Amino acid sequence: MTGNDSRRHSIMQMHLHRYTYYHQLILLILAVGLLVALPTQAATLTAEQAYQKGKILHFQDRFEEAEPYLLQAGESGNASAYYLIGDGVDGGYINILAAMSTKEYTFMKLAAENGHLLAMLRLVYYKSRASQSEKERWRNKLRQVLKPHAQSGNPLALSFLSGVALSEEDDGENFEYAVKAAYAGHPRSQYYIASEYENGEGWFFLPGSREKEVAKLYEASARGGYHDAIWYVGVTKVKAGETEKGMQILNVLIDKGDASKISTLGLMLSDLPDFDEEWVYDDKILGSTYMRASAIAMSDSDDTFQFFNEEAISLLTAEENQQVDQLTEEYLRTHTVYRQDGLDEFEYTVDNLHTALERWGGNAIE
C-alpha cells in the first residue's frame, strides 16, 4: 500500500467511525427518550405483544403512541417494528419523492440491516439519504435475495424486483416485472396491471379481450385479499344493480375494520352528497355508523374522518343520532379499526420471503 493509499484508508476509517458513532448516538438518545416515556403496561408485554399493539396504533395514525411499543419489539429483533417507526416519520405514507429525514433513514437502515425487504427498497429510492454507493449496495443485496425466489415464481419477489427497477428509473423492466408478479399471483400487482390495461396499456387483438383480462385481474386481486380490489369489485357490482351481492363483498372490508374503506362506504351510504353519481344504494343510519366508528378509532392528526362524521351528524335527528351511537358502540366492541390493505407486505424479510409463494402462488393466472 502506498503512502497516499494508506492515508486515504485511514481517513475512510475515521469517517466510518464518525458515521457509525453518530448513528449509534442518535439511536441511544431515541431509545432513552422512548423508554422514559414507555407506557406502564408495555413493561408487561412480550416483544410480540408489543409489536402487535404498536402496529395497530401506527395504522391508527397514532405514531407517537406506537413508537415505544415498536422500539421494544425492534430491540428484540423485529425488523418490521423498526420499519414502522421509520415509516411513521412521514405520517405513514410512502413518498419516494420526498426527502428522507435523519430519523427515518436511521430506522430504515436498522430494519434493512435486519433483513427487511421494503426498508431496503426505501433506501434505494431517489430521495433516500443513503449515499450512491450505499444505494447500489442495497440494490445488489435485493437482487441477490430476490432473483432466486423470482425464478421459482415467488409473486412478492417479482413485485419487489419491479420496485428495484423503478429505483433505477427503468420503466420497461419495472412494468415487465409487475406483469410477471401479477400473473404469478401477487394481488397488488394484479390490481395495478388491471388498471393499466383498463387505461389502454398493452395490446389486445380480439374484441372484448381487454375487458375480460381486466375483469380477471381485478377478481384475482380481490381473491388474493387486496382491499382496493375487493372494494373495486364490490362497488362495481352495486353500481351495476347487484346491490345485495356487492354489499356482501364490501362487508368483508367492514368486518376486517379497514378504516379508509369503512369511512368511504359510510360517506356513500349517508345523506351527504355522493361523489360517485353511479352509486345507487343509501342507508344513512348505517353510513353514519361507519363514519362515526372511523372517527372514534382514528387519530385526530387526520381530521378527515372527524369532518365527515360531523357533517353526517348534522343530517340526523336526535333519535337517529342515538341509534347511530348504539350501533357504533356495538361495532367497536367487536372490531379494531385501522388503516390496512390486506397484504401486510411490510412484514416480509429475507427469512420469511419464501412464505409469499405459499400464500399467493395459488392465486396465479393462466
- Beta-carbon contacts of 304 under 8 Å, excluding residues fewer than 6 positions away, are 263
Tell me which of 130, 152, 174 is where a domain ends: 130
Residue 219 lies in a domain: no
What's the pLDDT score for residue 11?
Answer: 29
Residue 54 lies in a domain: yes
Question: Is it the case that residue 206 has pLDDT exceeding 80?
Answer: yes
Residue 137 lies in a domain: no
**What's the domain range around 97?**
1-130
Check residues 300 and 335 and name the one with the higher pLDDT: 335
Which 8-state DSSP code applies to residue 1?
-
Average pLDDT over residues 288-317: 89
- Give the span between the Cα atoms of 204 and 101, in whole angstroms: 44
10 pLDDT tier (thresholds 50, 70, 90): very low
89 pLDDT tier (thresholds 50, 70, 90): confident
- CA angle, residues 269, 273, 276, in degrees to nearest 5: 70
Q: Could you tell me what percent of the chain has a pLDDT over 70?
A: 85
What's the pLDDT score for residue 301?
Answer: 67
**69, burial (CB in 10 Å: exposed 0-12, middle 13-18, buried 19+):** buried
Residue-wise pLDDT tens digits, 35-64: 444 555 566 899 999 999 999 999 999 999
Residue 189 lies in a domain: no
What's the pLDDT score for residue 32?
Answer: 44
CA distances from 20 to 9, 23, 27, 78, 82 (A): 16, 5, 11, 21, 18
Residue 201 lies in a domain: no
Residue 84 lies in a domain: yes
Average pLDDT over residues 124-144: 94
Name the domain count of the chain.
2
Question: Is it the case that residue 16 has pLDDT exceeding 50?
Answer: no
19 pLDDT tier (thresholds 50, 70, 90): very low
Average pLDDT over residues 142-167: 97
Tell me which of 130, 148, 171 is where a domain ends: 130
Check residues 36 and 360 and name the one with the higher pLDDT: 360
Q: What is the mean pLDDT of the chain?
A: 88
Average pLDDT over residues 290-313: 88
124 and 12 fall within a common domain: yes
What's the pLDDT score for residue 93?
Answer: 56
Average pLDDT over residues 336-341: 96
Residue 312 lies in a domain: yes
- Give the span between the Cα atoms of 51 and 257, in whole angstroms: 19
- CATH code for the domain of 80: 1.25.40
17 and 125 fall within a common domain: yes
What's the pLDDT score for residue 277?
Answer: 83
Residue-wise pLDDT tens digits, 233-259: 999 999 999 999 999 999 999 999 999
The 3 state secondary structure assigned to 59-117 is CCCCHHHHHHHHHHHHHCCCHHHHHHHHHHCCCCCCCCCCCCCHHHHHHHHHHHHCCEH
What's the pLDDT score for residue 72?
Answer: 97
Nearest to residue 333, comparing CAs of 295, 293, 363? Answer: 293
What's the pLDDT score for residue 275?
Answer: 74
4 pLDDT tier (thresholds 50, 70, 90): very low
Check residues 160 and 20 and name the one with the higher pLDDT: 160
Residue 264 lies in a domain: yes
94 pLDDT tier (thresholds 50, 70, 90): low
Q: Could you tell me what percent of the chain has a pLDDT over 90?
A: 75
What's the pLDDT score for residue 3?
Answer: 43
